Amino acid sequence: GENVEQHPSTLSVQEGDSAVIKCTYSDSASNYFPWYKQELGKGPQLIIDIRSNVGEKKDQRIAVTLNKTAKHFSLHITETQPEDSAVYFCAASATHNAGGTSYGKLTFGQGTILTVHP
Amino acid sequence: DADVTQTPRNRITKTGKRIMLECSQTKGHDRMYWYRQDPGLGLRLIYYSFDVKDINKGEISDGYSVSRQAQAKFSLSLESAIPNQTALYFCATSVGTIYNEQFFGPGTRLTVL
């Protein structure tokens, strides 16, 4: 089945710095790559996603990049703020049933604990 | 009111006990999911359901069972709880369109002694 690896497991930055989290996936049928943010005591919440027909997507201070050839995608947060401190998860999914195992399901990475120091 | 609710929010039980975790949603979504979260392991899929008559095993279904009582309700059962099932459990829902944004409940923290 699909396997998603996420690095680093913890990331500590100063307020105003940039943060980058990287993920790799294994199933070439995967074509949808969301990122979720989990604040303390809450369930994960989607913050941005990217689809396989796009190489980059940006939403204010957050951007995602995708390299389908290398099977990796990354989350970039610029001008970090203390409220960005949370656990971030990448995920991969196949939105068409092409015989792979990731159709209709999200396979998550292991998570990154981001701490932004004031 | 929250769109996806889970009960109980916290539960402590003993080895061998049967326990049920419940999930309800008011979003009108067809698809529902159960995950467990363990430190360093991310979110792992236990079971998922694309509609009321559809139940599928996820990557770690052993020791668990589910029931989809209605479109809005999806329950997870541990028939005989064991300590390594101590974890944070999340229910999620999605619309079932091409792109699979999932909406998560607040989680249930389960401790098996």
DSSP A69-96: TTTEEEEEE-S--GGG-EEEEEEEBBSS
Separation between Cα atoms, residue A88 and residue A110, nearest integer Å: 9
> pLDDT per residue over A23-74, tens digit each?
999 999 899 999 999 999 999 999 999 998 889 999 999 999 999 999 999 9
Instruction: Kindly identify which residue of chain A lies nearest to residue B48, measuring between CA atoms.
Output: A105
Q: Whose CA is closest to A89, among A42, A37, A51?
A: A37
Q: Which among B59, B100, B105 has the least Cβ separation from residue A1?
A: B59
Say if residue B15's pLDDT is above 80.
Answer: yes
- Give me the sign of the Cα torsion angle B38, B42, B54, B100: positive
B40-51 mean pLDDT? 92
- Residue A77 pLDDT level (bands cut at 50, 70, 90): very high
Q: Whose CA is closest to B74, among B51, B106, B44?
A: B51
Diameter of chain A measured on Cα atoms: 48
Q: Which among A41, A95, A108 has the least Cβ separation from residue B100?
A: A95
- Tell me the average pLDDT of chain B: 94
Q: How far is A100 from chain B (nearest CA, A)?
A: 14
Separation between Cα atoms, residue A18 and residue A62, nearest integer Å: 10
Which residues of chain A are within 8 Å of residue B43 when distances are taken between CB atoms? 44, 89, 108, 111
Q: Which of A60-64, A102-106, B74-78 has the lowest mean pLDDT?
A: A102-106
Q: Which two tokens stand for residue B4?
A: 């996806």
Q: What is the pLDDT of residue B95?
A: 87
Chain B contact for A118 (CB, 8 A cutoff):
no
Instruction: Kindly identify which residue of chain A lies nearest to residue B105, measuring between CA atoms.
Output: A43
Say if CB B33 and CB B23 are below 8 A apart: no
Whether residue B39 has a cis bond before it, omega within 30° of 0: no
Interface test with B, best of A105, A107, A112 (most B CBs within 10 A): A105
